[in-house]
Amino acid sequence: MLAGMIEEGRALVARLENYGRRPLHEIPPEERIASSEVHAWVRAAETAVVKQFGEDSDEYRKWVRVNSELGDEAEQEIFARIWDEVASAIRRVHTCMGLLTEFELVARHSRRASRPRRKRGPQTIVLFVAADPTDATRLRLQKEFHEIQQQLKLGEHRRRFKLALPQLSVRARDIAGALLDAKPHIVHFSGHGTADGSLQFEDVSGRSHPVKPAALAKLFEQFSTHVRCVLLNACYSDAQAKAIVAHIPHVIGMDRAIGDAAAIAFATGFYQALGAGTGVEEAYRLGCVQIQLQGMAEHRTPVLRTKGEA
């Protein structure tokens, strides 16, 4: 109730100040504000204070004192009189609104203090790693990252996830450092892959630098104590997934070429499901469904590999 009164007060102040800048003859009669409207708001705000704190509270006594100091306005058209009265009305509403804001903070603190504080559980850290070499077809990596960010932010279980600082234009030598710094549970790679199973990172000049499956598998073996899932959103990355899954519980790769739009659709569905509290397998299935919903025939391209399965 207090919050609603504050919003109404702000609207009333805006109207008062707007009319205070215009000559009376320019204000249509139906748009004018009567002092009775100011009084009505003050009375309703006082009711909100009493309901929230009670008549014996320090907050209510403060309210009464401030109102008595301001005094009462005449019950007549305030804009039909001099600007001093308009200024007085504005000051009255501003002051009361300030008190309401102060009281609402007190009320919120009181409500929070009376509730047992919930302990926040461990967060799942997601690391977005991307490479878009200058000698390859350009990808919409920022669009993909934005979709991941949005789906996790909107999810019911958003507090369970933390999106680490994204690693863009990544060189092969940067990957280990990013994993050491972020200590992620989910690693998402977005970029290019080749038909021989290599993933294309960048060299010092920004051009393609291929990394074979065996090399990345060895890398992820070193981080197998905390990495639980790897998503390789790149063409022909299933060869990498087959190698990495020897060390990581869940790895998703693409068994053929995949278009940029389909890759983004899969990522959208995958993180939409994770944000809603599902497991990796359910999230994988929703990612595939999202590709279908976009009218694309690449929903069978993503492949989920699970450690221990043949």
The rounded distance, in Å, linking the Cα atoms of 306 and 310 is: 9
Predicted pLDDT at 61: 73
290-295-298 Cα angle (round to 5):
70
291 and 272 Cβ atoms separated by less than 8 Å? no
Residues 158-193 have pLDDT tens digits of 889 999 989 988 998 899 999 999 999 999 999 999
Closest listed residue to residue 261, CA positions, set 283, 288, 286, 294: 294
Predicted pLDDT at 74: 41
Predicted pLDDT at 47: 81
Residues 25-78 have pLDDT tens digits of 666 666 666 666 777 777 787 787 777 777 777 777 776 666 655 554 443 444
Cα dihedral value 288, 291, 295, 299, nearest 10? -50
DSSP string for residues in 41-95: HHHHHHHHHHHHH-TTSHHHHHHHHHHHHH-PPPSSBGGGS-HHHHHHHHHHHHH
Low-confidence ranges of the chain (pLDDT < 70): 2, 16-36, 63-95, 97-120, 310
> Taking the domains of the chain in order of start, what are their residue ranges?
2-114, 124-306
Residues 52-65 have pLDDT tens digits of 777 777 777 776 66
Query: pTM of the predicted model, to two decimals?
Result: 0.62
* CATH fold of 124-306: Rossmann fold (3.40.50)
Structure tokens at 95: 């002051």
179 and 187 Cβ atoms separated by less than 8 Å? yes
Closest listed residue to residue 36, CA positions, set 83, 84, 87, 76: 76
**Among residues of the chain, what percentage have pLDDT more than 70?**
74
